[in-house]
A and B are shown apart, each in its own frame.
Chain A
Amino acid sequence: MSARIGVVVFPGSNCELDVVEAITGLGGQAELLWHGDISLGQVDAVILPGGFAHGDYLRPGAIARFSPIMDAVREHASAGGPVIGICNGFQVLTEAGLLPGALQKNVGLKFLCCPSEIRVETTSSALTAEATVGDVLRIPINHFEGNYTCDADTLALLRGEDRVVVRYVDNPNGSVDDIAGVCNEGRNVVGLMPHPERASHPLIGSTDGVVLLRSLLISAGAAVA
């Protein structure tokens, strides 16, 4: 049976259907989960998609982290289940404390909507298990607050524990250490600013995101077994 992926919809999410389409296209089962629900149902993995949850008011993710479903997401993560945050989802995961650091306004204060190249730095994560270290993937970014920041101790910890999952080849937003994505200590929670679902079909210009989504499907399948 194929892995079941729950895609959380917050008020203001806008990439949930793209994620569902990409997951379905790869043979996974995807279902939308409402932020006001308190249960994840029977899903094997959770994706927090891109968008502007609650209008990004106060700070991106600041309000979404208190959504009822986030307790279930936290439980799923602490049980080792895969949780992926894409763009706004990454911001929600940092605000929720499920991932370290924070996402700041881009250097230069520009909203960036363009292709980016990211390098896979570790294959030991729920999102990169099927990739190869050093792979350069061309995947779009679409954000104003994607400038990853953390204190020096956290950065040293992330580097020491091989928890920087992907780095920008050409840093577009000022992120510390070119970081485009990180994972938690258990390596099952991963956040990244680029949108793999927007690089999942030849018709949309790139299929480089497929290896990441396939990794998630396999991680989710493994979580069931």
Chain B
Amino acid sequence: MLFSVLVETRLRPGIADPQGATIERSLPHLGFDGISGMRVGKALRFSLEAADEATAQAQADQVTQRFLINPVIEDADVTVSVAEPA
């Protein structure tokens, strides 16, 4: 079966986020007030062939932890769903 995988990465709490800080600092100058806690992450989307959803989830979790994130500074949410037929 073909599954769609969405991996959303974010910096772990307490890890400084220079991108988020720069964006947040620029907001008042652009007229956007009241925004705080800006943090930048990544979204990675891919397809995965696996026998069933549990296997797909396990494989997606494994590649995420081993390669797609640096666990020293990042966390991730991994969402697996059955791919829509083309």
Spell out A's residues near B (CB within 8 Å): 58-59, 62, 66, 94-95, 100-102, 104-109, 147, 149-152, 174, 176
Contacts and interface: CB of A to CB of B under 8 A. Distances in A.
A107 B70 contact: no
A52 B72 CA distance: 21
Contact of B18 (A59, A66, A108, A152): A108
B16 A102 contact: no
Interface of B: 14-16, 18-19, 21-22, 67-68, 70, 72-73
B67 A62 contact: yes
Contacts of A102: 70, 72-73
A62 B70 contact: yes
Instruction: Say whether chain A's binding surface is mostly helix, strand, loop, or mixed.
Output: loop
Given A149-B16, A174-B16, A104 B22 contact: no
Given A102-B73, A108-B22, A147 B67 contact: no
**Nearest 10 CB-CB pairs, A to B?**
A102-B72, A102-B73, A105-B18, A107-B18, A109-B22, A102-B70, A109-B18, A59-B70, A149-B15, A105-B19
A106 B18 contact: yes
Interface centre among B21, B70, B73 (most CB of A within 10 A): B70
A108 B22 CA distance: 7
B72 A101 contact: yes
Contacts of A106: 18
Contact of A95 (B18, B21, B22, B70): B70
A147 B70 CA distance: 15
B56 to A, nearest CB: 21
Contact of B73 (A58, A107, A108, A149): A149
Contacts of A151: 14, 72
9 contacts: A62-B70, A100-B72, A101-B72, A102-B70, A102-B72, A104-B18, A106-B18, A109-B18, A151-B14
A163 B19 CA distance: 28
A109 B18 CA distance: 7
Nearest to A173: B18
Contacts of A149: 15-16, 73
Contacts of A147: 16, 18
A53 to B, nearest CB: 15
Contacts of A94: 72
Contacts of A109: 18-19, 22
Contact of B16 (A59, A95, A101, A107): A107
Interface centre among A58, A106, A176 (most CB of B within 10 A): A58
A90 to B, nearest CB: 14
Nearest to A175: B16
Contacts of A152: 14
